Amino acid sequence: MTAPSRTRSAMGALATVQKKDFLWCLVPLLCWALCWLLFPEPGLFLFLNQAARVLPDMAWVTFNMLGNGWSVYALLSPLLVFAPRLLLGGLFAGAIAGALSRWPKHVLEMPRPAGVLDHASFYILERPLTSFAMPSGHTLTAFAALSGIYFAMDRNRRGPFFWLFILAAFGGFARIALGAHWPSDVFAGAALGIFGGILGGHFSNRLPASVLHDASWLLRAIGLAAALCAYILLTSKIDFNIAEPVQFVLAFIALTSVLIFFWRSFRSATPHS
C-alpha cells in the first residue's frame, strides 16, 4: 500500500471511529424517551427527589461539585502532572459543550421544578431556582469533562474507565436530588456533554507532543488557571453554603498539583551541568 493510500485509509478509519463514538450520545436520549413513556412528569422527578434522601445533603452537594467549572477543573488538576493530554480532552470538551448549551437554555427558557410545583411538595436545598432549566448545565459540565478524558484515552485502554460515566451520572442525579432540575434536563445535559466530550477527546488526540511537555506555554497557562481555580474555591461560595469543606479540599488538590507541575516545569527548563 502506498503512503497516500495509507493516509486515506487512516483518515477513513478515524471518520468511522468518530461516527461510532457519537452513538454514545444516544444513550441518555433513549433513557429520556423511556422515562417519558413510563414515568411522566412530575411523577418521576418527585419520586427521584424523595428517593435521594437516602444519602445526606453533603453527599449530593459533593457530587454536584462535579458540574461546576471551577471545582471540576480543580479536581482534574492532578492530570496536569500525570496525563496532560487527558486533562486537555476534558477542558476542550467543557468549552465545546458549554458553548452548545447556551442557545437552548436561553431560547427555550424552560421552568425548573421550583417554578412549577409547590415548594412544599419536594425537597429543595437552600435557594430555589425557577428558570432556564433545559439543559442542566451542571450535568453537561460533568459529562463533558469526564467523557472528554475518556475519549482522549487510547481506545484499547478505555474499558476499565467506564466508571467516569457513572461518576458523571451521580453529578447529574445530584441536580434532581437537590431540587434544581427535572430528569429531562439532566438527560439532555448528559447527551450534550458526551457530544462535547467526544469532540474534546479527538481534538486533544490531535495535539502534537511538543505542546505537552512540562515547559510548554500551553501547560503553564493551564497551571496558572488551576491556581486561579484554587483561589476562587477558597474565596467564593460555589452553589451551596455547605459546600465550603469540599471547596477547601478541591483547592488543596489544585494547589498541590500546581506546585508539583511548576517545580517540574522549571526544573526541566533549567540547563543541567
Ranges 35-39, 145-149, 178-182, 268-272: which has the least confidence: 268-272
Whether 10 is in a domain gets the answer no
- pLDDT for position 127: 87
pLDDT band, very low/low/confident/very high, at 273 (cuts 50, 70, 90): very low
Whether 271 is in a domain gets the answer no
Whether 244 is in a domain gets the answer no
- Is 14's pLDDT higher than 60? no
Q: pTM for the complete prediction?
A: 0.89
CATH number where 63 lies:
1.20.144
92 contact partners, CB below 8 Å, separation of at least 6: 148, 199, 200, 201, 203, 204
- For 171-196, write each residue's pLDDT tens digit: 999 999 999 999 999 999 999 999 99
Q: What percent of the chain has pLDDT over 90?
A: 67
Domain that holds residue 169: 23-212
Whether 58 is in a domain gets the answer yes
- Cβ neighbourhood burial of 197 (10 Å; 0-12, 13-18, 19+): buried
Whether 184 is in a domain gets the answer yes
- Is 15's pLDDT higher than 60? no
- pLDDT for position 103: 76
Give me the mean pLDDT over the 16-37 stretch.
81
- For 30-46, write each residue's pLDDT tens digit: 988 888 888 888 999 99
DSSP 162: G
Whether 199 is in a domain gets the answer yes
pLDDT band, very low/low/confident/very high, at 4 (cuts 50, 70, 90): very low
Give me the mean pLDDT over the 192-210 stretch.
92
- For 105-140, write each residue's pLDDT tens digit: 777 778 999 999 999 999 999 888 888 888 999 999
Whether 180 is in a domain gets the answer yes
Cα→Cα distances 251→35, 73, 229, Å = 38, 10, 7
Whether 220 is in a domain gets the answer no
Give me the mean pLDDT over the 51-62 stretch.
97
Query: 248's torsion region: left (phi>0), alpha (psi -120 to 50) or beta?
Result: alpha
Q: CB 14: neighbour CB atoms within 10 A? A: 13
Q: What percent of the chain has pLDDT over 70?
A: 91
Count of structural domains within the chain: 1
Give me the mean pLDDT over the 249-255 stretch.
97
